[in-house]
């Protein structure tokens, strides 16, 4: 059963899901519950960092600096075609059946130096955002993303 956005609480779609990853493995759909992405290596570790969302813009930024990345190499669970990095903590989005609340920007990750030494500094504020699951559900590739009005 798909959740339909309510007219009064959600505006038009702001983007869509391009790729999904569970522990860096590409999948067509994923299930989320209050502890995060089911079967992901970070499942139930830290509720406020249970889902990592990255934008295609991060990959374009790296590509513009001649750093080649395959989707998923930033460690994201959800890759989207919308840049969410300016969303404030507490903002809520709906993707598929799930509702996620932005909890924080992704912290600088030194493991990205394995790809390229310049990458951590380049993507300092543009690697991704963490979210926690407010409403469990399924997310699929090509699902629309809705910003929920507070």
Give domain status of residue 7, yes or no: no
Structural domain containing residue 120? 13-148
Task: Report the number of distinct structural domains present in the chain.
Answer: 1
Tens of pLDDT, residues 70-87: 999 999 999 999 999 889
Q: Domain of 35: which CATH number?
A: 2.40.33.20
* β partners of residue 133: 100
pTM for the full predicted model: 0.90
pLDDT at residue 107 in the model = 75
Tens of pLDDT, residues 106-136: 877 778 888 888 888 888 888 899 999 999 9
Q: Which of 93, 72, 96, 71 is nearest to 82 (CA)?
A: 93
Q: Cα-flanking dihedrals φ and ψ of residue 122, to 5°?
A: -60, -45
Task: At 89, list the tokens.
Answer: 């903590």
């Amino acid at each position: 059963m798909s959740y339909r956005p309510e007219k009064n609480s959600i505006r038009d779609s702001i983007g869509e899901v391009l790729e999904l990853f569970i522990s860096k493995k590409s999948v067509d759909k994923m299930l989320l519950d209050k502890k995060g992405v089911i079967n992901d290596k970070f499942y139930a570790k830290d509720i406020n960092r249970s889902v990592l969302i990255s934008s295609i813009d991060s990959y374009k930024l790296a590509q513009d600096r001649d750093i080649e990345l395959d989707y998923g190499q930033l460690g994201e669970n959800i890759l989207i075609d919308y840049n969410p990095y300016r969303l404030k903590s507490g903002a809520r989005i709906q993707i598929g059946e799930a509702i996620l609340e932005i909890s924080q920007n992704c912290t600088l990750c030194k493991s990205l130096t394995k790809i390229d030494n310049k990458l951590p500094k380049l993507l300092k504020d543009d690697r991704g955002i963490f979210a926690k699951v407010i409403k469990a559900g399924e997310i699929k590739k090509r699902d629309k993303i809705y910003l929920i009005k507070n």
